[in-house]
Amino acid sequence: MIKLSIAALAGLLMVSSALAESILVGQLAPDFKLPDQQDKYLQLSDLRGQWVVLYFYPKDETPGCTKEACSFRDNIGRITAKNTVVLGVSVDDAESHSAFAEKHRLPFKLLSDKDGKIAEQYGALRNLLFLKIAKRHSFIINPEGKVAKIYRKVSPANHVSEIVSDLDELQSQVD
């Protein structure tokens, strides 16, 4: 009986994970309102008219997350020149984000999704028993608020270069 219950639970987790990752290119990006590292709220729909890179990451000050954030920082001029805003999201609180952004001189907003609800809407939440962390997933959202590109397998080392290249391609399709 216990084996059956464990198998049923595992099946439900797989189904819920598959449903959560069903966000598709062309779909309107789920709107949200979250606090940034200065505890000021940002609503995604307020950014309509601009391209948005929405990147989810597991935790402030971890090696891969720091590498990815610093890569966005080092390429922010190339990204903002494309009428694009970068938003980082994790389940860390605003205080943690503030320290992380200050230490690494991050010139973009880090949003606090403490309960993981937004990450879950985007299929970017990992539940580890009593711990929730964001998966390393990214999304490019076009000026109409629709998902233009999804990245589910992200390498912190080369992800930002891939995003810059894809922004060029996506933006050339609408010109």
Catalytic residues: 65
| Number of neighbouring beta carbons within 10 Å of residue 58 | 17
Q: What angle do CA 71, 17, 111 make, to 5 degrees?
A: 35
Contact 122, 23 (CB under 8 A): yes
Q: What is the distance between the alpha carbons of residues 158 and 69, in angstroms, rounded to a whole number?
A: 12
Helix, strand, or coil (residue 101): helix
Q: Which residues contact 43 (CB under 8 A, 6 or more apart)?
A: 31, 32, 33
